[in-house]
Amino acid sequence: MLGSIALLGPQRPQQNLGLVLDTIPGTGPIVSVTAGWRHDEAEVEALHRVVGADAVHLPLYEWFDEVMAAAPPVAAAWRERQAKIMDLKSLHRLRLHPAIEALGLVMDRQDVDAAIARPQIQWSLDHLRELDQQFLDHASVILRQHPEVLRAWEHPAVAPFHRRIAEQLAGARAILVAGGHVAVLRNRLEFFGMKGLLASAVRTGTSLVAWS
């Protein structure tokens, strides 16, 4: 039986998380991930009041800092890779933003015959997709240049945390993923190998609830 997936909006000033949790059947812990809150990651009291006594927190942001301090080679490789990715993103935006602006200008030309405008709009869209694909292809090259952190959760310094996460998710009734700084959240999830763990949990009946 597959677990359910719920994507919610912001939980402030009003939250509907409790209503969603009431619809999730079963027993077991409710695991929360708040790494996107960064330095405020541990401030989960209000969240856990909604969740109740079954709440279990995974401090990925804190664990990441522990690994960075305990394993300098991992830290160096990760930071070098991320610096390259950030440079790539900045160059990608320089190419992307003019293309988005051009698409908007083409679409705004209501005075042009549709038979002429339609292919121009399509080619502009195709160009945007091509730029994004080029970014993804280049990013993949950068990721492969740093094999020591390509699957960071398999590194001896990270593997114990990965196992701890897997143990906490086993039998969980639900997993809660709070938003915040989405790039940081995604990086921490990736670093600890949670993509596969989350997919496996949902396949075996654990529900996933996320919000912005």
Q: Which CATH architecture has domain 5-66+164-211?
A: 3-Layer(aba) Sandwich (3.40)
Q: What is the DSSP string of 105-137?
A: HHHT-TTS-HHHHHHHHHHHHHHHHHHHHHHHH
Residues facing residue 133 across a β-bridge = none
Question: How much is the pLDDT for 183?
Answer: 93
CA 104 from centre of chain: 29
Question: How much is the pLDDT for 86?
Answer: 97
What SS3 state is found at 101?
A: helix
Question: How much is the pLDDT for 171?
Answer: 87
DSSP character at residue 157: T
The full set of domain ranges for the chain reads 5-66+164-211, 72-149
What SS3 state is found at 1?
A: coil
Question: How much is the pLDDT for 20?
Answer: 94
pTM as predicted: 0.87
Report how far residue 17's alpha carbon sits from residue 40's, in angstroms, rounded to the nearest whole number.
20
Each residue's pLDDT tens digit in the chain (212 positions)? Answer: 789 999 999 988 888 999 999 999 888 999 999 999 999 999 999 999 999 888 999 999 999 999 999 999 999 999 999 999 999 999 999 999 999 999 999 999 999 999 999 999 999 999 999 999 999 999 999 999 999 999 999 999 999 999 999 999 998 999 999 999 999 999 999 999 999 999 999 999 999 999 98
Nearest to 186 by CA among 176, 196, 194: 194
* Cis amide linkage into residue 13, ω under 30° from 0: yes
What SS3 state is found at 64?
A: helix
CA distances from 197 to 10, 60, 193, 203 (A): 25, 14, 7, 10
Report residue 45: phi and psi, to 5°.
-60, -50
Report how far residue 48's alpha carbon sits from residue 37's, in angstroms, rounded to the nearest whole number.
15
* Cis amide linkage into residue 73, ω under 30° from 0: no
Length of the chain, in residues: 212
